[in-house]
A and B are shown apart, each in its own frame.
Chain A
């Protein structure tokens, strides 16, 4: 049977891995935010140009 140290090690590893996952997800979230901002800007420029044409 696994002892406390073994389960403790595993528990620690799980926490480390999950933190690593969250930091990767956070980086992806920021990247996604930039993509959406870039798109929003593009729509805004188009809207301005479109209103001017009208």
Chain B
């Protein structure tokens, strides 16, 4: 039987397209794998180096903190993950374009793009749910379909959030059974669960980042306990004075829990943590009626390794209120405060999809309103990627006094294409302008809105960031001018987010006479 003219084309053409789609799908998956491997392999090396060093844990914890190790690795992992995400989006565009061309020409019913992906790859990506992409697709769908698709989206989001929560609970159980489980084992567990429940590369990256913070906290707790084995000594090291009454310090996997039977001791821990805040008498009175608190935020402790790792209990208040049930209540309060400590680590895993939904889901909004939300999204990304690292570089440079302040500014703000070594945001601008957020913005408001996005990126990633660094240097110099040594200024500012330096320095300088008096009293004890 002869072959009609055109049949060969009908047979060979889909094969060519299949090859293209296969390459694209392989590339997307490979990119996600590579981005994840970069992070996992680095942790394997760190684990080995730490083991082989033979150093006491306290030294290791201090080395991680001083070099900013986990912040820096987290930043690299984040950018690798974003980069893979951008690639996935770009390929999505090409493949959608291809599918649309096929439908338009309509000569032969073309194989659907999804059906062209080879079985082993299809198996891996078939149920993968990318909330941040799905929400954009839904908002692009015809209005009649949106409600139903949004309902399905919410169901999937709830399922994914539940699976993430289950993984988190399992990780916590593993850490409770053996708080010193090697990080690399926990990372492998995240990979397995990720394959089972189709977590995105970014969600797995967030889980790894949470586990690093958790490990750092745990090691900080152990190191503090090694240095101060007696409860009273540890209390004094943290608060700056001896406890007045009975205390008991319980070591938990993610938190050091301090039971205080004298309300003055409970108040002292709280006040020490929030020492730059002036509390009203009403607040102090309310504090004495608390059951417990998790001390989160600025590193105000005398022991920086215990940053975000301390919770305190007002035990006498629990006993007065609950009588015979006080022991049970105490256990509940401890679980509650530890829950805060752990939640705060994992919260980012589900933050981003909700953020995208918030930016775009409101109907009938103006470009100005959406631009404001995009601006605050950009700012939070910048804070995560660059602000903490810039903070650490400013204090390091100004402390060593090798370069003039003006030169420090120039070094920290020089673009990468001019040889700058600290241009972390150069890449981010590119990522942003290629992101789903940027694309959706242009779709909503037209081609000219690209200019608005360019201006927003310029404002947040360049102008504001440069001003932040300039202001940071000025604040450091102002502290030195008012009598702090460079080491003291660095120690103070290293614990405060860069955006808050001005405010923190102002509070500190206003409270300084009181500080001096307190230090004098502490010295006399």
Contacts and interface: CB of A to CB of B under 8 A. Distances in A.
Interface stretch (B99-107, B188-196, B352-360, B504-512): B99-107
B38 A32 contact: yes
Contacts of A25: 31, 34-35, 38, 80, 83
Summarize B's interface: helix, strand, loop or mixed: helix
Contacts of A4: 13, 16
A46 to B, nearest CB: 5
B463 to A, nearest CB: 25
B167 interface: no
B489 to A, nearest CB: 22
B108 interface: yes
B55 A46 contact: yes
Interface in A12-46: 13-15, 17-18, 21, 24-25, 28-29, 31-32, 35-36, 38-40, 42-43, 46
A3 to B, nearest CB: 8
Contacts of A32: 38, 42, 73, 76
Contacts of A47: 53-55
A1 B109 CA distance: 9
B63 interface: yes
Contact of B83 (A7, A24, A36): A24
Contacts of A36: 42, 45-46, 49
B324 interface: no
Contacts of A10: 20, 94-95, 97-98
Interface of B: 13, 16-17, 19-20, 23-24, 27, 31, 34-35, 38, 42, 45-46, 49-50, 53-56, 59-60, 62-64, 66-67, 69, 72-73, 76, 79-80, 83-84, 86-87, 90-91, 94-95, 97-98, 101-102, 105-108, 110, 427
30 contacts: A1-B105, A1-B106, A1-B110, A2-B13, A3-B13, A4-B13, A4-B16, A6-B98, A6-B101, A10-B94, A10-B95, A11-B20, A13-B94, A14-B23, A14-B24, A14-B94, A15-B23, A21-B31, A21-B83, A21-B84, A21-B86, A24-B83, A24-B427, A25-B35, A25-B83, A28-B76, A36-B49, A39-B69, A43-B60, A50-B56
